[in-house]
A and B are shown apart, each in its own frame.
Chain A
Amino acid sequence: MCQECGCGNVGGDVKIGAHSPEHEHHHGLEHGHGHAHDHGKKTVDLNRSLMEKNALLAERNRGFFRAKKLLVLNVVSSPGSGKTTFIRETATRLGTSLRVGVIVGDLATDNDAARLRTAGIPVVQITTGTVCHLDADMVAKAAAQLDLDKLDVLVIENVGNLVCPADYDLGEDLRVVLLSVTEGEDKPLKYPPMFHSAHVAVVTKSDLAAAAGFNRDLALVNLHRISHHARIFELSAKTGDGMKPWLDFLAQQRAAV
């Protein structure tokens, strides 16, 4: 994330202390002065980020994953952009060259976990219920159920949602945002925090581009503009077109951990 951006950079030093009351008054015989303030109330300055707990846990995750030499991906997109298919194909094509494990967040079902297991990889499912995003604590608990020493890459499939997952660092190395050709070229403009925070942007379902009337140039202009920190890939998880550069990139990133 770039230094110039305010994103994720809220809150200063933790500071707790009582305001000293501005006025001094004497309680005594003259206590008929009828002032309106409540006695015994005091204001305590906090000036803390409400995201601070997640930020702390995310850093803890990051340190832990780093010590395990894991490359960790946080895969985000709108519902149905192709996260599960993309992750399964990635794991299958990597074969034994990189061992992949997945943590998958889903509001209600375990369908995605079942589909991912067909690739023969370890999968932990987090059912979030009404919570529309994963947080660092959920990821820490899920990761504890995986044998991380047997993995090289840990992929976290976030809940299909482009809004709140943007605010929750999970301790990942790379945030990977998917944009499918069927969902409109202006998605990055509609969800700038998510697209801006991405390290990787993947245009998915490229096999459907013609049928969907996908305006590739426009999508790329928008991605370059908003996801200006990201490496961009275009691929189809279904046909395998364009998967190779992505897999090479992953291997290179893993080697750098």
Chain B
Amino acid sequence: MHEVAIMTEALRMAVDAAKSAGASRVSKLRLRIGSLSGVVPDSMRFAFDVVCHGTLADGATLEIEAISAACWCMTCQTEFECVDFFNECPRCHNVSGELRHGRELEIADVEIS
């Protein structure tokens, strides 16, 4: 998987934010990761330590907010929670593959000083 590439991008955004605010250190990064994003949080943590080494974010904390997946039922026009990509709507039992949440790969905020 491409956790290292994604973590490198998160670090780049965090360091940019710190620099443009005149800060010299990043002490925390908060990411939002969907349960169906294909990214494994443990691998992200591992990648984090590797990519942060020797940067403004050396020693920073990584917080991961897990986002659970939700599907959209076109028939009922409602959202329902799901654990997979294709799920039966609990109301009408049609199968929906239209995910509304769960693919998130985002950086929420960073703590700098």
Contacts and interface: CB of A to CB of B under 8 A. Distances in A.
Interface in A130-186: 131-133, 135, 163-164, 166-167
B98 A2 contact: yes
Contact of B38 (A48, A163, A196): A163
Given A5-B98, A164-B38, A192-B86, A44 B21 contact: yes
A18 interface: yes
Contacts of B83: none
B72 interface: yes
Contacts of B95: 225
Contacts, number: 113
B86 A44 contact: no
A51 B105 contact: yes
B30 to A, nearest CB: 9
Contacts of A196: 85, 97
Contacts of A41: 27, 111-113
A10 B106 contact: yes
A44 B30 CA distance: 10
A248 interface: no
B51 interface: no
B85 A192 contact: yes
B27 A167 contact: no
Contact of B86 (A9, A43, A226): A226
Interface residues of A, number: 41
Contacts of A135: 5
A192 B109 contact: no
Contact of A43 (B84, B104, B109): B109
B62 interface: no
B10 interface: yes
A44 B17 contact: yes
B96 to A, nearest CB: 9
Nearest to B26: A44
A6 B110 contact: no
Given A50-B6, A131-B5, A11 B106 contact: yes
B103 A50 contact: no
B2 A133 contact: yes
B111 A43 contact: yes
Nearest to A8: B103
B107 interface: yes
Interface in A7-44: 7-11, 16, 18-19, 38, 40-44
Nearest to B100: A6
Nearest to A44: B17
A42 B86 contact: no
A217 interface: no
A2 B99 CA distance: 10
B72 to A, nearest CB: 6
A7 B2 contact: no
Contact of A6 (B5, B6, B84, B99): B99
Contacts of B98: 2, 4-6
Closest CB pairs A-B (n = 7): A192-B85, A4-B98, A41-B113, A6-B99, A164-B2, A50-B105, A40-B113
Interface of A: 2, 4-11, 16, 18-19, 38, 40-51, 53, 131-133, 135, 163-164, 166-167, 189, 192-193, 196, 225-226, 228
12 contacts: A6-B98, A6-B101, A6-B102, A10-B103, A11-B106, A44-B109, A46-B13, A48-B107, A50-B6, A131-B2, A166-B38, A193-B38
